[in-house]
Amino acid sequence: MIGFHELLRKILFQIANHQFSLLLKPKALPIFFVSSDCYLYKSMTFEYTSNLDKEIHIYLDPIETGATTTLNNVFFGVDSDVLDERSDAEISEVSQFLKSNPDVRIMIEGHTDDSGSKEYNLDLSQRRARAVYDKLIYLGISVDKIVSKGFGMSQPVVENTNSENRAKNRRIEFKIL
């Protein structure tokens, strides 16, 4: 028998056309998703403390060609293209987003830091983007709605000057086509 504290819990609440969900899983950081009609959803992870008293502002971008969002809760091992099971919730949210927006097509984009050769990082980013693509197909998304592409280290969001910045550059995004 599985104890209550071991179960994945999802708290979902809705105000007007805005939906918020908070995923709580034992021994994992909470994941917060925000979505609204006609807007890209956002995800974030945060450290929880019992005295959490923090105001968080989340701005949603309209669904329009070229709009991009980072999948903040997609994880791979070092030098691996195998999705970590902690990625399931985020990829499920992408699947729901696509099912709720039948006219939307996206490109899954893989990015790396500057550790290793350009060729290696390009290949790794392509394999990681393809892993997310494959998972979305498995979840029932039509191949007509998604494509994948790796960019290697060619599009950093910050300079690769330290380990924290390198972590920010290792990411999966999707772009509205």
Domain range summary for the chain, segments of one domain joined by +? 60-176
H-helix or E-strand spanning residue 163:
helix 163-169
- Integer Cα distance of 166 and 127 in angstroms: 19
- Integer Cα distance of 97 and 88 in angstroms: 14
Output the CATH code of domain 60-176.
3.30.1330.60
Note the pLDDT tens digit of each residue in 69-86: 999 889 999 899 999 998
Which residue did the predictor score with more confidence, 99 or 12?
99
- Integer Cα distance of 172 and 125 in angstroms: 9
Instruction: Give the 3-state DSSP-derived string for 67-104, with helices as H, strands as E and coil as C.
Output: CEEECCCCCECCCCCCECHHHHHHHHHHHHHHHHCCCC
For the chain, the distance separating the N- and C-terminal CA atoms, rounded to the nearest angstrom, is 46
What was the pLDDT predicted at 39? Answer: 80
Residue bearing tokens 């807007």? 39
* CA 87-92-94 angle, 5° bins: 100
Mean pLDDT along residues 17-26? 53
Backbone phi and psi for residue 43, each to the nearest 5 degrees, phi listed first: -130, 150
